[in-house]
Amino acid sequence: MRKISKRANIGNNARIGEFVIIHDDVTIGDDAIIESFCELGYSNGREAGPLFVGDGAHIRSHSVLYLGSSIGDHLRVGHHAAIRENSKIGNGFQLGTSSIVMGECSIGEYVKTGSQVEIGQRSRLGNFIWLFLNSMLLNDPRPPSAIIVGPDIGDFAVIGAGSAIFPGVRVGEGSLVGAGCILSTDVPAGQIAVGNPPKLIGSVTRLSMPDGTPAYPWRYRFQAGYPQDIVEHWLHESANLQSD
Amino acid sequence: MRKISKRANIGNNARIGEFVIIHDDVTIGDDAIIESFCELGYSNGREAGPLFVGDGAHIRSHSVLYLGSSIGDHLRVGHHAAIRENSKIGNGFQLGTSSIVMGECSIGEYVKTGSQVEIGQRSRLGNFIWLFLNSMLLNDPRPPSAIIVGPDIGDFAVIGAGSAIFPGVRVGEGSLVGAGCILSTDVPAGQIAVGNPPKLIGSVTRLSMPDGTPAYPWRYRFQAGYPQDIVEHWLHESANLQSD
Amino acid sequence: MRKISKRANIGNNARIGEFVIIHDDVTIGDDAIIESFCELGYSNGREAGPLFVGDGAHIRSHSVLYLGSSIGDHLRVGHHAAIRENSKIGNGFQLGTSSIVMGECSIGEYVKTGSQVEIGQRSRLGNFIWLFLNSMLLNDPRPPSAIIVGPDIGDFAVIGAGSAIFPGVRVGEGSLVGAGCILSTDVPAGQIAVGNPPKLIGSVTRLSMPDGTPAYPWRYRFQAGYPQDIVEHWLHESANLQSD
């Protein structure tokens, strides 16, 4: 049994679970999988327009997507997750179980999160970022206030489990924020931050894999789940660096 | 499709979503919004009586409210949240998405939480408190044990994201517990605690807004979402202080 | 209204809520309580076989159990929880509200968790372990990578609220990891670890109950919720120690 609006626009070849609700003004591309107990196109009265989701979406059970956001192709959403209003999200976004996008966010291409993450309102994320389990992007520098300023996370950054990124903090390209880091200051590109209070402990290049090869930039050694053309670009980059 | 008990007592002008379950012995005031996939009046056999919710409640999707709690007017509950048995909760309570009230709590007026918060069993909260994202109120000093003693949080206190308040710890009126603080000791009124281990780093009055005005007490500069009579009281208080 | 596969095998005396989905290849023992909005036997295509759950299971609302896991008797699952594929879980497992077992885990007898816990993929847990609110078992030492190595948690260990156990870290039998500890190193048996960075601060025997008696090993003073034969064994052990 399903409650799907006739004004929802769902592409070809969709698989829709039981007890699913899809409201008006929802557009979803082809080959979507929408699992049981999901609600898409939820309205809280603050959304700026319809919900748009690209091709190949897979939304797991008990999740909620609000109106007003625009999301690229190949969306992956875990169970019990929520994406709120007015966010602009690129292709390949992967949101873990019980994770939340609070709305009004800007999220680039192929950003991936673990479970129980919260991407606070007005966060700005680049491309190919990882946010691990229970990490938090905060946005109110003087809580409670009406100053909402999200963090700014650079391409390829890795945000460790249980860490908190303070409002307005910039995490540079390819940087690594350690598990449990309470990050109240900016991190330059390619650096490691750990601890509470946070400390910068050097370049990500000091970290090795078990076989002694460099662990970072991670894209030169880990390509699972990225599209072929992007992987080839990374491999070319890596080969060029090695021939320097 | 809904399963609503004839022994539930729902006020005028209710809006009820799809796939909602309301059990016996639930009383909800007028103008309620109860969204899809919610279950109200859940019983675990430990509840002391019915569930009572005042006027103007708004309970978002996939949430669960147990029997045995009494909640004031203007309740706001996010998605995937739970309020367990035998709590006494004042007006204007706002519980974030995926947050949990574990039961047997005492919660004053206009307490507001972010997402993924847990208010442990037997916590005692005053009025106008903020509990931000992922904060935790703990209650077992020798885990596991049967000694259940919740924290005691004073009026206007602000509990930062990802912080943990230890069992029996008292947070004074208007104090500020920083994000990620693991608070194992009491905090006097109007003080700031940060870190793991926790440190008291001074009075909240040392914190300013971007324009240089005092950030705390926050009620003198932030009144959004509070009732008119309360706001007027705060503005009078503030004006009197400035004329001293 | 329910969607229960004819190929699911549910024991005698089951109580099943509303809007429940049970798929093919699910076997559940006698006296099960399966609450509303649950989905059992979910498939993500990676499961190695059916879902098996023993007698006396109680699965609270909005929870999801994947195919491929084998779980003993007296399972307890909170609301909005998930147990993923290919885990082997003993009797008396208790998983808190909004908690997640990520799959491919080995979990012994009578392991109990609070809310919002994540047991990462390939974690190895002994028997009689407690994982409190929001604790995290991590598994990727060089994120992101394909090296998945879970922590190894010994019998009777207590993992505090908001703590993170690093990939491959061993927590010894009867050890205590304090709330908020970011545990990047092994802990020998019977020791206390706290802080970020973590410090070993001595034996668990230094901790007392309010009446001055030893707090640990906790099994000599706390037996609620364990079977009679196990409790008797613990009491004998304790009596023998005292007579030494």
d(CA A234, CA A228): 10
- C132–chain A Cβ distance below 8 A for any pair: no
**What's the CA gap between A62 and A98, in Å, rounded?**
9
Closest approach of chain A CAs to the CA of C237, in angstroms?
Answer: 38
How far, rounded to the nearest angstrom, does the alpha carbon of residue C6 sit from its chain's CA centroid? 30
Which residues in chain C are contacts of A218 at CB distance < 8 A? 142-145
- Same domain? For A167 and A220 the reply is no
Per residue in C121-169, pLDDT tens?
999 999 999 999 999 999 999 999 999 999 999 999 999 999 999 999 9
Nearest Cα residue to A78 out of B98, C165, B20: B98
Cα separation of C131 and C127, whole Å? 12
Do A59 and A116 have their domain in common? yes
Give every CB contact of residue A211 below 8 A, 6+ residues apart in sequence. Answer: none
Count interface pairs B-C at CB distance under 8 A. 94
Residue-wise pLDDT tens digits, C65-117? 999 999 999 999 999 999 999 999 999 999 999 999 999 999 999 999 999 99
CATH number of the domain bearing residue B75: 2.160.10.10
Identify the band that residue C242 occupies on the pLDDT scale cut at 50, 70 and 90: confident
Contact of C196 with chain B, judged by CB distance below 8 Å, is answered with: yes
Contact predicate C58/C32, CB 8 Å: yes
Contacts of B110 (CB under 8 A, 6+ apart): B90, B91, B92, B93, B94, B127, B128, B226, B230
Mean pLDDT of chain B: 97
Q: For residue B190, give how far its alpha carbon lies from the nearest alpha carbon of chain A (Å).
A: 14
| Residues in chain A, pLDDT under 70 | 244
CB of B42 within 8 Å of any CB in chain C? yes
| Residue B177 lies inside a defined structural domain of this protein | no
What chain B residue is nearest to C98 in terms of C-alpha separation?
Answer: B98
Question: What's the CA gap between A242 and A236, in Å, rounded?
Answer: 10
Q: How far apart are the first and last CA of chain A?
A: 61
Smallest CA–CA distance, residue B165 to chain C, in Å, is 10
Q: What is the pLDDT of residues B41-89, one digit of tens each?
A: 999 888 889 999 999 999 999 999 999 999 999 999 999 999 999 999 9
Question: With pLDDT > 90 as the criterion, what percentage of chain B qualifies?
Answer: 96
Q: pLDDT for B129-187, tens place per residue?
A: 999 999 999 999 999 999 999 999 999 999 999 999 999 999 999 999 999 999 999 99
| A206 and A187 within one domain | yes
A103 and A58 within one domain: yes
Q: Which of B61, B130, B196 sits opposite A143 (nearest CB)?
A: B130
Bridge partners (DSSP) listed for residue A66 = A42
The answer, for A2 touching chain C at a CB cutoff of 8 Å, is no
Residues of B in contact with A147 (CB under 8 A): 209-210
Which of B134, B196, B222 is opposite residue A196, by nearest beta carbon?
B196
pLDDT of B48 reads 83
Residue A93 is part of which domain span? 3-210
Residue B244: band (very low, low, confident or very high) from pLDDT cuts 50, 70, 90:
low
Residue of B nearest to C195 (CA): B196
Chain B nearest-CA distance from A59, in A, is 16
Give the rounded distance of the alpha carbon of C50 from its chain centre. Answer: 20
C239 three-class SS: helix
Both structure tokens of C30: 């006698």
CB–CB of C160 and B143 under 8 A?
yes
B130 at C interface, C-beta within 8 A? no
Chain B contacts of C18, Cβ < 8 Å? Answer: 3, 21
Find the closest chain B residue to C222 by CA distance.
B145
Contacts with A196 from chain C: Cβ below 8 Å: 196
β-partners of residue B199 are B194
Distance CA C94, CA C74 (A): 8
pLDDT digits (tens, 9 = 90+) for B93-102: 999 999 999 9
* B46 phi, psi to nearest 5 deg: -110, 0
CA distance A225 to chain C (A): 11
Q: How many domains does chain B have?
A: 1
Are A222 and A158 contained in the same domain?
A: no
Structure tokens at B160: 């930062």
| Contact residues, chain C, for A179 at CB < 8 Å | 136, 138, 164, 166, 182, 184
- Return d(Cα C18, Cα C38) in angstroms, integer: 9
Instruction: Answer for the pair C144, C97: CB distance below 8 angstroms, yes or no.
Output: no
Predicted confidence at residue C244, as pLDDT, reads: 63
B136 lies within 8 A of chain C by CB:
yes
Measured at the CA of B205, the angle between CA B203 and CA B209, to 5 degrees, comes to: 135
The CA-based diameter of chain C, rounded to the nearest angstrom, is: 61
Residue/partner pairs of C8-12 with CB below 8 Å, 24 or more apart:
C8/C40, C8/C41, C11/C55
Q: Is residue C41 within 8 Å of C58, Cβ to Cβ?
A: no
For residue B95, being part of any structural domain is answered with yes
Distance between CA atoms of B110 and B133, rounded to whole angstroms? 17
Distance of CA C100 to the CA centre of its chain: 9
Q: Is the CB of residue B158 less than 8 Å away from at least one CB of chain A? A: yes
The answer to whether the Cβ–Cβ distance between A145 and B209 falls below 8 Å is yes
Number of neighbours of residue B228 by Cβ within 10 angstroms: 8
B57, part of any domain: yes
Whose CA is closest to C218, among C126, C156, C171, C159? C156
Interface partners of chain C (CB pairs < 8 Å, 3 or more) are A, B
Residues C67 and C47 sit within 8 Å (Cβ to Cβ):
yes
- C-alpha pair distances (Å), B108 with each of A46, B123, B154: 29, 11, 10
Does the bond joining B198 to the residue before it have cis omega, within 30 degrees of 0? no
Residue C131 at interface with chain A, using a CB cutoff of 8 Å: no
Residue from the list A98, A196, A207 with its beta carbon closest to the beta carbon of C142: A207
Q: Clarify whether residues A134 and A221 are in a common domain.
A: no
DSSP for B57-84 reads: -EE-TT-EEETT-EE-SS-EE-TT-EE-
Provide the 8-state DSSP code for B214.
Answer: B
Residue B198 contacts C, CB cutoff 8 Å? no
Contact list in C for residue A130 (CB cut-off 8 A) is 143-144
CA nearest to B96, candidates B80, B111, B114, B83: B114
Task: Give the model's pLDDT for residue B1.
Answer: 87
| A122 in contact with B, Cβ within 8 Å | no
Distance CA A122, CA A222 (A): 29
Q: What is the mean pLDDT of residues C43-47?
A: 89
Report which secondary-structure segment, H or E, holds B23: none
* Residue B108, min C-alpha distance to chain A (Å): 18
Going from the C-alpha of A168 to that of each of A87, A164, B232, the distances in angstroms are 18, 12, 32
For residue C37, give the chain B residue with the closest CA.
B37
Contact assignment for A98 to C120 by CB distance below 8 Å: no
Whole-number CA gyration radius for chain C: 19
Domain shared by A184 and A106, yes or no? yes
A207 vs C contacts (CB less than 8 Å): 142
Residue B241's pLDDT is 84
Give the residue from A21, A64, A116, A131 with the most C CB atoms within 10 Å of its CB, the best one to mutate: A116
Answer yes or no: are the C-beta atoms of A111 and A90 closer than 8 Å: yes
How far off is chain B from C147, nearest CA to CA, in Å? 28
Phi-psi region of C155 (alpha: psi -120 to 50; beta: other; left: phi over 0): beta
In this structure, the answer to whether residues A31 and A41 fall within a common structural domain is: yes
d(CA B67, CA B114): 23
Q: Is residue B235 part of a domain?
A: no
Q: A44 vs chain C: nearest CA distance in angstroms?
A: 22
Q: Are residues A186 and A229 in the same domain?
A: no
User: Is A98's CB within 8 Å of B116's CB?
Assistant: yes
DSSP state letters, chain B:
--EE-TT-EE-TT-EE-SS-EE-TTEEE-SS-EE-TT-EEEE--S---S-EEE-TT-EE-TT-EEETT-EE-SS-EE-TT-EE-SS-EE-TT-EE-TT-EE-SS-EE-SS-EE-TT-EE-TT-EE-SS-EE-TT-EE---SSSS-S-----EE-TT-EE-TT-EEPTT-EE-TT-EEPTT-EE-S-B-TTEEEETTTTEEEEEGGG-B-TTSSB--SGGGT--TTS-HHHHHHHHHHHHHHHH-
CA C79, C85, C87, C88 torsion-angle sign: positive
Tell whether B134 is within 8 A of chain C (Cβ).
yes
> Do A223 and A202 share a domain, yes or no?
no
How many angstroms separate the CA of residue A164 from the nearest CA in chain B? 7
Which chain C residues in 213-242 lie under 8 Å from chain A, judged by CB atoms? Answer: none
Amino acid at B55: D
Chains interfacing with A (3 or more CB pairs < 8 Å): B, C
